[in-house]
Amino acid sequence: MPAVTTGQRSTILVVEDEEGIARMIQVLLEARGFATLVTHSGDEALDRLAVHPVDLVLLDVMMPGMDGYEVCRRLKADLRWRHIPVMMLTARDTVRDKVLGLEIGADEYITKPFNTEELIARIKVLLRIQGMSQALVRRNRELQALNAVALAVSRSLSPDEILNGALTCTLDTLGLPQGLMHLVESRSGHLILRAWRGLTTEPEEALRRLSPGTGWTWRALQQEDPLLLPDAAQGDGLGLASGNPPRPLCAVALRSHDRGLGVLTVVGRPEQQFLAEETALLAAIGRQVGMALENADLYADSRRKVQEFEALYQLGRTMASTFNLQDILSRINQMVSSLLHAQAMSLMLLSPDGRVLSMAAGYNLFDEAVEATEAIRSRQDSSPSLIAVREKRPVAIPDIATDTVYAPWLQAAREQGYAAFLAIPLIAQDRAVGCMNLYMTERHEFDQDEIQLVSTFASQAAISIENARLFEETRQLAITDELTGLSNHRHFYNQLAREVRRAQRYKRPLTLLMLDLDYFKSFNDRFGHLAGDQVLREVAEVLRRNARDVDILARYGGEEFAIILPETDLDRAALQAERVRAAVASHAFRGKDSNPQGDLTVSIGVATLIPGMRKIEGLVHDADQALYRAKTGGRNRMEMSRPDARPADPT
């Protein structure tokens, strides 16, 4: 129990059975500035101490009933009073009496008659020693509390674990019944309740999220010294009714490097008063917790940076290992969704002509987002994705429910339970090629670091898209006939080899058509190469219109074409060949009226893959032989190969 003073005066309990002597000592002490309490027996002294703590006991030894030795013995045996210095003032002056008193626990022994100045001086010495002792006890208590809090906050780098551990240690060390911890939310600036102990009910909403500048917590955060309220019922949301015995409240800021991170609030016992050393201890705990939170934030930030660098490294590896656009977009989806904890994400790309924005890859998307295709418009009432692309800037919507600008375009997202949205343009060489959209299920204030991170990935995505498009264009140039847009001679043989392997492995039919335009050389000589090129383009278009999706079309060379028919036997291939022949014959080619041979026609040779055929050249040879027979047999016709007439493949 701490020393009790009246103002700045120490309180001395005088225990003396003779009323005259007791009165004289009382007058003497009060004249020297001390407050006094007077009792005339040992029992009365103990009863008075139970309700009125004092700083020193001036104790007579020879008293009726319980003598001074027994009173001293009981005082020193009781934890409540053992710290109070006891001075025996008695007429018993033998060495044996003095030794007995000191052994029982008296701190000083003075015999009567006494010298007044000596008595006062010895009282002051005892009080000074007592003050230093109490200061050491308080300091030790503070160090124990700070050590306990330090141990609690050092066990983890999780802010919630730091707060809960620190709060528990603080309440246990100071013997307090209730406590709260609020942290400043960096994005919104609100104080968010993160830990609590001792509340009789669940915290009210008014206590869970505090707007800037409201309530006792913000007052505590904004001032240097601890905030003290004489009655915690004045604190909104604590659920404490006024009219009960008042319980004090103390709130201190959690600070690190003069930056307010949050607030620690504790509620005292009924009619308790927080002493200056207790508020100083709470302030020290607030600084210690603030430093722990700062360390946790630095650790989280370093881990986040490592994850970002790792993600960028992995993305770089993906970009270096493949030009497959879907693989790259899927990888970016996974990384950004993971780093920003987005519940859904989409990547939209501009069409080559720059007129249409459509979904190219996505993660956990709802149907409306998957099917999203938007024409680029110049007017202002556009979706956030279009604005991001058109104006080449991020569009952040922290709360879809309260947004009024983009509400029509985000209605579907809101109905699916999404609360926040971010659109980042994909920019390559100062040209927008698409956008990246993030959806979150909780309201989210996107800070500059997050936008910068997503923008970095968006830049990588834009570069990847451009590289993939260039690669695809180069690849197409390498495998495509420039004039007709069909596969070229080399690519034809690669595809034929692949289809032959597949057909032989799974024992499926495969047929090849070889086509040659009739009298094309004469047409070319008469009308020129430009007209001839136009005819070849139109033939290619006729073939496309009369082919299945699985059929492979190629320009074999000159005026010759080839069609690979997977999963097609000879009979069905013959029907397909006849359909193609008729389509070419009926097509209205430009300049056909001036052609001496009349309509342009085509001759077709049909060959099928037979068992034992080991080389693709054998299949091509059979189709070519059938084509030769069609040409020599009158043209504008179809001939099928004769497998029984061809020589066997050499072994």
Q: Annotated catalytic residue: which of 108, 499, 559, 639?
A: 559
- Nearest-CA neighbor of 376 among 415, 425, 338, 416? 425
Q: Is the peptide bond before 113 cis (omega within 30 degrees of 0)?
A: yes
198's tokens: 């001792």
Q: Cβ distance 38 to 26 under 8 Å?
A: yes
Q: Cβ distance 206 to 237 under 8 Å?
A: yes
Instruction: With H, G, I as helix, E, B as strand and everything else as coil, classify residue 177.
Output: coil
24's tokens: 């004289």
57's tokens: 């006991």
Query: Among positive and negative, which fits the CA dihedral 435, 441, 445, 448?
Result: negative
Q: Cβ distance 599 to 578 under 8 Å?
A: no
Query: Any catalytic annotation for residue 559?
Result: yes
Gap between the Cα atoms of 357 and 345, Å rounded = 15
Instruction: With H, G, I as helix, E, B as strand and everything else as coil, classify residue 304.
Output: helix
Phi-psi category of residue 220: left, alpha or beta, with phi > 0 → left and psi -120 to 50 → alpha: alpha
What amino acid is encoded at 539 in this protein? V
Place of tokens 């987005």: 342
Gap between the Cα atoms of 43 and 469, Å rounded = 100
Q: Cβ distance 622 to 607 under 8 Å?
A: yes
Per-residue HEC secondary structure of 458-487 comes to HHHHHHHHHHHHHHHHHHHHHHECCCCCCE
Q: What is the CA radius of gyration of the chain?
A: 48
Instruction: With H, G, I as helix, E, B as strand and everything else as coil, classify residue 605.
Output: strand
Sequence-ordered list of residues with C-beta below 8 angstroms from that of 128, at least 6 positions apart, any chain: none
Q: Cβ distance 76 to 23 under 8 Å?
A: no
Q: So which residues are the catalytic ones?
A: 559
